[in-house]
């Protein structure tokens, strides 16, 4: 009954097999491995972006901080929502990598979904840089798809945000730690969700969707390539035995493993959601990908924890008395078994 | 009719005289001048702080960024209000000097005065660092006295804020760019407004109150002294001909020049306020030091500008239609002549 | 015939098996996995350091830069040799992570081995910080064991260096990317080569000796632990699925795999050296671990390259005419087959 | 008898007069003062560079660090000599401002003058960046004119160095803290010594030549202007009451004050040198500007110090026994009186 995160479960056997297959003979290091050439070709194909620059790193924080620092000057500010991973969960990595850029928070829409709206983005951008040399200059905009609240920007919503960034001539970055979960939910192509709507760079997540620890950073304009390489090395994120990153990413992109995993995770979540609907655990908003935010009676929460269920409590709006309720986040990964979900639902629906 | 800022007027003759007097013979550089020893002694005396470490720099941004970086680790966050100079007007200097620390905004009290309340501070601090290693750690709290909205924290208010910082064992910094204006308004001593209420370090402003460009940084615990010296040098803020900074600061502290200038500036502002009360320019809040925020009919504003009046438009709440009104900030320095104020008031009260 | 580096060959099967075994069920992320507790216990035992703080990262550059930045203030300088990896091969990572500290080069001993001598270290340290606040302050000393020239500091040599660092009260860091190769060559214990001679922190390499990409950072004084954790997270080097790093390191430390691999690599190198001695390829200095630097006639070099041999040309002193000779570096890893070495030796000894 | 530095003496009366004249009425702050427009025009005229971007800061360290950080990426390295001020005397300011760039030392020519030679520069540049992404990339070259050893690059020497920087397409920066002293010694124009020989940016010193604390940073290609402005503000080096910097610089450039001061300083030094030639104080090299490096018998040194003479001991090559001799640096500023020099010479020539 593990719903704490999608970075805690096992990886599919294909990934370990790929590591074993890559483990023969000698290979050029530092990204010059033959597998990486294949990764680049495959990602360019999948994203319909024959010029794209593609790099692998091992963590999402590295992917985001390195991508943003390549797009940002130290005297600029990065626009994101108050719940963005880059703001809340990276211990100042974007500030560090950018050499001290600021993060300016774009207020989320009313309600709990906390997605960035074009109106709020435009208003926030407009307000910055009204002070000439005194305030930070406008820098990149970063959106998170799937958002940290489990919601998904529609293609239209992304287009509207990108229109604002173009208006101010700012680069648009997508933190796609759960890229695949969003894409299969939207039933669109990688290109649809990125450059076709105006995204300039994407952190294309693998770790939360079945890899040991690999994320791709993709720039649709290859002019950023060399600077990114230098920043990656200087950050200590260039692997000597790079082929083991490449092999994972290749396995991920082979036979639709990445899509299948995302479909499984979303389906598991939908199954859990269906069950939860029959309980005293009202959703804080409608689940869209592989995450559910729900209110739980404290007594129920206690019983679940005692029974070994794992999930995080969250800071969320509760209709009822916070003494009697908690807000909880449930995340499903590709591997969670239906039986575990059933066991959890049985526990939660059990009368107090 | 210059009300744009208190950093645009002339300096009193005593300051130039002091420069001339300092301009004889050879002196040790880099802070080892005899005048600096006097400055340190004088500031320790005035602040009743015989152990305090005292340093001079030439700009307020340098004072704030260097002081905060000495109190802050790069993986921490600094707490301040959304209108703080360190957040809005220093082009990421605190982020730069701290090596990439974050600034976490403590929402100002309702209304326009935007002072930090103990409740908001506690709630904001409490919320940070609930994420263990993932989010930034709690760092120093910085309050601005006089605030950027021209309001003044009472000693009781400062005490209450300091109580919160002590609760969490965080250092308290005061941006005192307008230190003297606040102190004379509160009719208290420098010690009352700083270490006696729990302030650990202060940027003690001189530039906005009559100097060419000198601010003192004061640490009440001298353990920070050597690190600050190194940070100052590394920031390019250690003057070789340091005596010319010392001489200015000495003149400032001699014969109560600093208090007199502040009294003059506040009085000038009170005189302007008195006049404005008789006009169609309602205050956004009650003036307390040497700044007024008021709403102006657009037509009046146009007439004032056409007549050469200088002041800044501001982002402020307006009761009426923003098409017909603007929010304006008027700052009085020690030097503005009553006649200029009268001329301005005559203009403003003139019928459209 | 791959002698280009020890980071290009395969990993032993035990490592992949360990990954597969770790790949079951759900585990706490970010270093809270059960395997990491075992790693810490095991490293403390092996190093006879029951208080040591132990962390894993994925690259040697991350290990060095994070360790040094924890020991170093931004206004200090790090002492190392001109050939140190941290100086030549990390694209300014130490400067970046430390917030702008300097690297001061301690001239290597005459000859090609380029090890740091106590005399040169003392002289270099003594010279720094004679300028008070104007120059950088003295910071940590970093030695590389095995050095980048393939030489090994004896325990006595390390002790003598540590004596100098203690004299000036500076921390001593060891870049142990090839820690095991040195240790088995010296036939000593991990404790002998580190804290017993006065080393404060060590980058304990795994990647060059059989892992996919794992290095441990060990502080013998645990007071550095929390700061390191924050710096690791902020650098993007904290793995969510941390168990896969832990599992590798556990396999490494189990059944002496790490020692066995190092013995194999050194033996392979000795075998190659023995063969080379019979050729026209004089050594630039006597090989000690798993690296050989030798002079090659250009014609021989061309023939070797044409035949597919892989190794790096180096900047080294040549007795003869550089038009006719090259300096070459040959590195043996644990996996290189004797047959490959024989084939290479056959080629090299073949008459022109 | 003050020969310790040229930053310790008084400023000429014209500078104080200029401050007094600037001290009337209200002026736009932050560089928008009318005097600054004049400064820019005047510098463009003097340098025959109608497009040049011109900025003022208050210290030489700020000028150098800000200029270099504008020309340098954090993953690059700056080339300078081992005695460069940016390397030895700025407490890591260039590393700090550049976000962690490295300084690569170009060995000085044999002898004590320590000027950079084109051969050494080319060899050093060529060696850097042979490691691809692993080492830092080649960045700006910085030369110091007058050098820290008091020597002067001839125009031909500068041209030869610039030819090397152009060969590698690297920007050339001149640390001109003693710009005027060099220029009058070479009897050339500002343009001759800068853009005409290939200098891209110059720190044009005023402080050591008669100002309270003002240096100009000049970029001959104005494309750097806006970035520099932002970096200056972010570094806390933008003065609100900027007119007092402008006024100093204007006075400096009026009626050839800057040239006259430099001529006086050089003449004073020549007079001192002439006297010293008759003593037991052999020069370490022939004086060229306003600095002398000489060997002194310890007994003489003791007598001079006892008599109140001020100068610095230096790390220099001594022909005789270091137990019996010291190396001393004597700097003359514009203001030192002949009588002081005579008194000093009388002391030094006095028999032991």
Report pLDDT digits (tens) over D194-223.
999 999 999 999 999 999 999 999 999 999
D306 pLDDT exceeds 70? yes
Q: How many CA atoms lie within 13 A of A7 on its CB side?
A: 25
The model's confidence at residue D352, banded by pLDDT at 50, 70 and 90, is low
C9 CB neighbours in chain A (<8 A) are 25-26
Which of D74, D95, D99 is the closest to C102 by Cβ? D95
User: Which chains border B (3 or more CB–CB pairs < 8 Å)?
Assistant: A, C, D
Can you tell me the distance from the alpha carbon of D33 to that of B22, in angstroms, rounded to the nearest whole number?
A: 26
Which of C77, C91, C127 is the closest to D136 by Cβ? C91
Which region, left, alpha or beta, applies to residue A31 given φ > 0 means left and ψ of -120 to 50 means alpha? Answer: left
Which of B30, B75, B231 is the closest to C230 by Cβ? B75
Closest CA to A136 of A144, A148, A121, A124: A124
Token pair for D47: 């340098």
Token pair for D201: 């940016």
What's the CATH number of domain D13-257, 3.40.140.10, 3.40.50.300, 3.40.640.10, 1.10.10.10? 3.40.640.10
Q: Which of A234, A235, A237, A239 to mutate to test the interface with D (most CBs of D within 10 A)?
A: A234
pLDDT in tens, chain A (352 residues): 899 999 999 999 999 999 999 999 999 999 999 999 999 999 999 999 999 999 999 999 999 999 999 999 999 999 999 999 999 999 999 999 999 999 999 998 777 788 999 999 999 999 987 789 999 999 999 999 999 999 999 999 999 999 999 999 999 999 999 999 999 999 999 999 999 999 999 999 999 999 999 999 999 999 999 999 999 999 999 999 999 999 999 999 999 999 999 999 999 999 999 999 988 788 998 999 999 999 999 999 999 999 999 999 988 778 778 888 999 999 999 999 999 999 999 999 887 6
Token pair for D1: 């008898």
Q: Where is C232: in which H helix or E strand?
A: helix C225-234
Helix C243-253 / helix C13-22 crossing angle, nearest 10 deg = 140
Can you tell me the distance from the alpha carbon of D49 to that of D42, in angstroms, rounded to the nearest whole number?
A: 10
User: Which chains border A (3 or more CB–CB pairs < 8 Å)?
Assistant: B, C, D
The DSSP bridge partners found for residue C342 are: none
CA-nearest residue of chain B to C236? B134
D58 CB neighbours in chain B (<8 A) are 58, 213, 239
Instruction: Give residue A187's pLDDT.
Output: 98
Can you tell me the distance from the alpha carbon of A205 to that of A7, in angstroms, rounded to the nearest whole number?
A: 11
Can you tell me the distance from the alpha carbon of B77 to that of B95, in angstroms, rounded to the nearest whole number?
A: 10
Contact at CB, A237 and C233, closer than 8 angstroms: no
Buried b / exposed e along C156-180 (16+ C-beta atoms within 10 A):
ebbebbbebbeeeebbbbbbbbbbb
B107, B149, B258, B306, B328 from B292: Cα distances, Å: 22, 8, 21, 21, 8
Token pair for B279: 């006009």
Cα(first)–Cα(last) distance of chain C, in Å?
19
Which of A24, A212, A234 is the closest to C92 by Cβ? A234
C238 CB neighbours in chain A (<8 A) are 59, 61
Can you tell me the distance from the alpha carbon of D88 to that of D64, in angstroms, rounded to the nearest whole number?
A: 13
Judge whether D140 and D79 are in contact, CB under 8 Å: yes
SS (H, E, C) D167-221: HCCCCEEEEECCHHHHHHHHCCCHHHHCCCCCCCEEEEECHHHCCCCCEEEEECC
Share of residues in chain B with pLDDT > 90 (%): 90
User: Which chains border D (3 or more CB–CB pairs < 8 Å)?
Assistant: A, B, C
Instruction: Show the beta-strand stretches assigned E in chain A.
Output: 53-57, 76-80, 102-105, 137-144, 172-176, 201-205, 215-219, 291-297, 312-314, 325-331
Q: Give A104's contacts (C-beta < 8 A, 6+ positions apart).
A: A77, A78, A79, A80, A124, A128, A136
Q: Give D322's contacts (C-beta < 8 A, 6+ positions apart).
A: none
Q: Is D278 helix (H, G, I), strand (E, B) or coil?
A: coil
CA distance to partner chain B, nearest, from residue C32 (Å) = 12
Instruction: Give residue D130's pLDDT.
Output: 78
Which of B75, B137, B233 is the closest to C134 by Cβ? B233
Q: Beta strands D172-176 and C291-297: pairing type?
A: unpaired
Instruction: Give residue B152's pLDDT.
Output: 97
Per residue in C125-184, pLDDT (tens digit) is: 999 877 899 999 999 999 999 999 999 999 999 999 999 999 999 999 999 999 999 999
D181 pLDDT exceeds 80? yes
CA distance to partner chain C, nearest, from residue A283 (Å) = 25
Q: Is B189 helix (H, G, I), strand (E, B) or coil?
A: coil
Contact at CB, A61 and C233, closer than 8 angstroms: yes
Judge whether D282 and D350 are in contact, CB under 8 Å: no
Token pair for D198: 């290939």
Per residue in C86-127, pLDDT (tens digit) is: 999 999 999 999 999 999 999 987 777 889 999 999 999 999
Helices (H), B197-296: 225-234, 243-253, 257-277
State the complex-level ipTM: 0.97
Contact at CB, C244 and A26, closer than 8 angstroms: no
Contact at CB, C238 and A59, closer than 8 angstroms: yes
Query: Which residues of chain D have a Cβ shorter than 8 Å from any chain C Cβ?
Result: 74-75, 77, 88-92, 95-96, 98-103, 105, 127, 130-131, 133-136, 315
Which of A134, A230, A231 is the closest to D233 by Cβ? A134
The model's confidence at residue D349, banded by pLDDT at 50, 70 and 90, is confident
Omega before B146 within 30 of 0, i.e. cis: yes
The DSSP bridge partners found for residue A142 are: A173
Structure-token match 């005579």, residue found: D342
Contact at CB, C89 and D131, closer than 8 angstroms: yes
Instruction: Show the beta-strand stretches assigned E in A259-310.
Output: 291-297
Contact at CB, C74 and B229, closer than 8 angstroms: no
Instruction: Give residue C1's pLDDT.
Output: 87
Rounded mean pLDDT, B217-244: 98
Judge whether C257 and C148 are in contact, CB under 8 Å: no
Give the number of B-D residue pairs with CB atoms closer than 8 Å. 145
Q: Is C266 helix (H, G, I), strand (E, B) or coil?
A: helix
Phi/psi of residue B329, nearest 5 degrees: -110, 130
Which of D88, D89, D96 is the closest to C100 by Cβ? D96
Instruction: Give residue D321's pLDDT.
Output: 83
Rounded mean pLDDT, D147-164: 97
Give the other-Cβ count within 10 Å of A16's Cβ. 20
Q: Which of C95, C127, C329 to mutate to test the interface with D (most CBs of D within 10 A)?
A: C95
Contact at CB, A91 and B315, closer than 8 angstroms: no
Q: Which of C241, C312, C330 to mutate to test the interface with A (most CBs of A within 10 A)?
A: C241
Token pair for B227: 């690190």
Q: Which of D98, D131, D133, D224 to mutate to test the interface with A (most CBs of A within 10 A)?
A: D133
Which of D99, D229, D238 is the closest to A99 by Cβ? D99
Give the number of A-D residue pairs with CB atoms closer than 8 Å. 37
C4 CB neighbours in chain A (<8 A) are 26
**What is the Cα B8 distance to its own chain's centre?**
15
More confident residue, C226 or A111: C226
The radius of gyration of chain B from alpha carbons, rounded to an integer in Å, stands at 21
Can you tell me the distance from the alpha carbon of C61 to that of B81, in angstroms, rounded to the nearest whole number?
A: 38
CA-nearest residue of chain D to C98? D100
Instruction: Give residue C352's pLDDT.
Output: 65
Per residue in A81-127, pLDDT (tens digit) is: 999 999 999 999 999 999 999 999 999 877 778 899 999 999 999 99
Instruction: Give residue A23's pLDDT.
Output: 97
Task: Name the DSSP letter for residue D25.
Answer: S
Average predicted confidence (pLDDT) for chain C? 95
Angle made by CA atoms C208, C209, C212, in degrees to the nearest 5 = 70
Judge whether C180 and C205 are in contact, CB under 8 Å: yes
Q: Which of C227, C236, C268 to mutate to test the interface with A (most CBs of A within 10 A)?
A: C236
Contact at CB, D135 and C89, closer than 8 angstroms: yes
CA distance to partner chain D, nearest, from residue A75 (Å) = 7
Instruction: Give residue B112's pLDDT.
Output: 79
Structure-token match 């989010």, residue found: B135
Which of B23, B90, B239 is the closest to D58 by Cβ? B239
CATH of domain D259-349: 3.90.1150.10
Q: Where is C303: in which H helix or E strand?
A: helix C298-306
Which region, left, alpha or beta, applies to residue C306 given φ > 0 means left and ψ of -120 to 50 means alpha? Answer: alpha
More confident residue, B352 or D279: D279
Contact at CB, C131 and D88, closer than 8 angstroms: yes
Instruction: Give residue A352's pLDDT.
Output: 65
Q: Provide the residue count of chain B.
A: 352
Q: Provide the residue count of chain A.
A: 352
Instruction: Show the beta-strand stretches assigned E in chain B.
Output: 53-57, 76-80, 102-105, 137-144, 172-176, 201-205, 215-219, 291-297, 312-314, 325-331
Domain ranges, ordered by start, for chain B: 13-257, 259-349
Contact at CB, C7 and A58, closer than 8 angstroms: no
Share of residues in chain C with pLDDT > 90 (%): 90
CA distance to partner chain B, nearest, from residue A227 (Å) = 20
């Amino acid at each position: 009954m593990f719903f704490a995160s999608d970075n805690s479960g096992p990886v599919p056997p294909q990934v370990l097999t790929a590591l074993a297959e890559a483990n023969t003979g000698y290979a050029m290091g530092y990204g010059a491995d033959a597998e990486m050439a294949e990764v680049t070709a495959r990602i360019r194909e999948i994203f319909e972006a024959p010029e794209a620059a593609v790099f692998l790193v091992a963590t999402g924080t590295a992917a985001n901080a390195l991508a943003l620092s390549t797009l940002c000057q130290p005297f600029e500010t990065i626009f994101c929502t108050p719940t963005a991973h880059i703001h809340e969960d990276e211990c100042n990595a974007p500030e560090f990598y950018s050499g001290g850029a600021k993060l300016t928070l774009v207020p989320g829409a009313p309600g709990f979904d906390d997605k960035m709206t074009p109106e709020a983005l435009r208003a926030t951008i407009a307000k910055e840089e009204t002070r000439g040399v005194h305030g930070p200059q406008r820098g990149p905009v970063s959106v998170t798809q799937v958002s940290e609240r489990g919601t998904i920007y529609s293609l239209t919503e992304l287009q509207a945000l990108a229109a604002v960034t173009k208006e101010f001539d700012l680069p648009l970055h997508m933190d796609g730690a759960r890229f695949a979960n969003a894409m299969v939910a939207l039933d669109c192509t990688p290109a649809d969700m990125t450059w076709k709507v105006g995204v300039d760079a994407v952190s294309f997540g693998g770790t939360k969707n079945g890899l040991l620890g690999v994320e791709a950073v993709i720039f649709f304009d290859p002019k950023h390539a060399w600077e990114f390489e230098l920043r990656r090395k200087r950050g200590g994120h260039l692997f000597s035995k790079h082929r083991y990153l490449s092999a994972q990413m290749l396995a991920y992109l082979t036979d639709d493993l990445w899509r299948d995993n995302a479909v499984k995770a979303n389906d598991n979540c939908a199954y859990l959601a269906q069950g939860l609907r029959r309980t005293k655990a009202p959703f804080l908003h409608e689940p869209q990908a592989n995450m559910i935010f729900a209110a739980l009676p404290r007594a129920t929460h206690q019983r679940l924890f005692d029974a070994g269920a794992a999930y995080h409590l969250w800071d969320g709006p509760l209709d009822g008395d916070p003494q009697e309720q908690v807000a909880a986040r449930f995340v499903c990964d590709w591997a969670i078994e239906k039986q575990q979900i059933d066991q959890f639902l049985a526990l939660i629906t059990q009368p107090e």
